[in-house]
Structure 1
Amino acid sequence: MAQTAGVKPMAIAGRVALERERCLGMTDAERAWRKQWLKDQVLAANEPVHVEEYWKERINPIRRFYRKPLDVLFDKLTPMLGASRAADYRVITGKLGLIAVGVMAIHYYFKYHGNDWTKKGGWRVTRSKPMVLPGQPGFPYKSERSKDSDYADRGYSKSSLFDGK
């Protein structure tokens, strides 16, 4: 969601935000307003203030639960790395962890739940024949399947039920 929740943000700097507008001339009221506005832009030494209760209300419990391990780890590393670098490393570690879990899940699926003769569902992975042109070794291409029963086998010939007749 956008930071303004779909409402166009209002420019609080007013007409004098642009240098060109200020050069055209400012009234005393505009000068006083701009001076106060510039003074308001300076943050105090303790800002931004981290209010724990605010973040607990803002972030849902499930998200806090799965973020907790990396938060604890990088809270301990922050004094050594610095706040900015620790935050960057935390994001990178989280993303790489999610990528690794995704790769392992895909590997597991194709290793144990692929499409073979015992199942009706699952993704079937097939290989197309390689392109072999005249003059290249292996031309004309001979299939590794020796007889018609080898086609659409889906791994049945490798099972213990296959008698090979």
Structure 2
Amino acid sequence: MAQTAGVKPMSIAGRVVHERERCIGMTDAERAWRKQWLKDQILAPNEPVHVEEYWKERTNPIRRFYRKPLDVLFNKLTPMLGQERAQVYRYLTGKMILLGFGVLATTYYFKYNGNDWTKKGGWRILRTKPTVLPGQPGYPFKSTKTDSDYAERGFKSSPI
């Protein structure tokens, strides 16, 4: 769903949000309104306020569960690192852990679930012949495979 639920967003700044409009001329009421509007844009010293209950209501319990270990760690590190740096490090640490799990899962899958003659599924990895250009040693490249080597899918090297 769109952020405004299909309704065109309305600017609360009014006509005088653009400098060109203000230069055309403003009434005293518009000047007072603009002055108050600019004052309202200044945050209080204690803002933004983090309300724990609001965050709990808005986030999924599963998400809170898997975020908890890094949240605890970086809440302890925040006084040493500072709020902004701790948030950046927490974000990057989470992403690096996910990337590491992804690399390990991919490595495991390709190592133990390859396509060979014993099973139907799995990724089939083919090696292409090397590129050998004129003037390089081994040109022209001639394969050492025999007819029975093609499409054997590991059958010849099987311990059976």
Whether 1:101 and 2:101 are equivalent positions in the alignment is yes
Aligned residues: 160
- Equivalent in the alignment of 1:159: 158
Whether 1:141 and 2:141 are equivalent positions in the alignment is yes
The alignment partner of 1:157 has SS state of coil
TM-score when normalising by structure 2: 0.92
Q: Give the Cα–Cα distance (whole angstroms) in 2 for the partners of residues 39 and 62 of structure 1.
A: 41
Q: Give the Cα–Cα distance (whole angstroms) in 2 for the partners of residues 93 and 144 of structure 1.
A: 48
Q: 1:18-41 CA distances to partner (integer Å, 9 max, x unpaired)?
A: 222112211111111111111111
Q: 1:93-141 CA distances to partner (integer Å, 9 max, x unpaired)?
A: 1111111111111100000001111110011000111122333211232
- Equivalent in the alignment of 1:38: 38
- Equivalent in the alignment of 2:48: 48
The alignment partner of 2:46 has SS state of coil
- Equivalent in the alignment of 2:78: 78
Q: 1:94 to 1:6 in 2, by over 3 A?
A: farther
TM-score when normalising by structure 1: 0.89
Q: Give the Cα–Cα distance (whole angstroms) in 2 for the partners of residues 10 and 46 of structure 1.
A: 28
Q: 1:88 to 1:5 in 2, by over 3 A?
A: farther
The alignment partner of 2:136 has SS state of coil
* Equivalent position amino acid for 2:103 in 1: V
Q: Which aligned runs of 4 or more in structure 1 are off by greater than 6 angstroms?
A: none
Give the CA RMSD over aligned residues.
Answer: 1.6
* Equivalent position amino acid for 1:98 in 2: L
* Equivalent position amino acid for 1:100 in 2: G
- Provide structure 1 residue ranges, at least 5 long, that are not aligned to the other structure: none
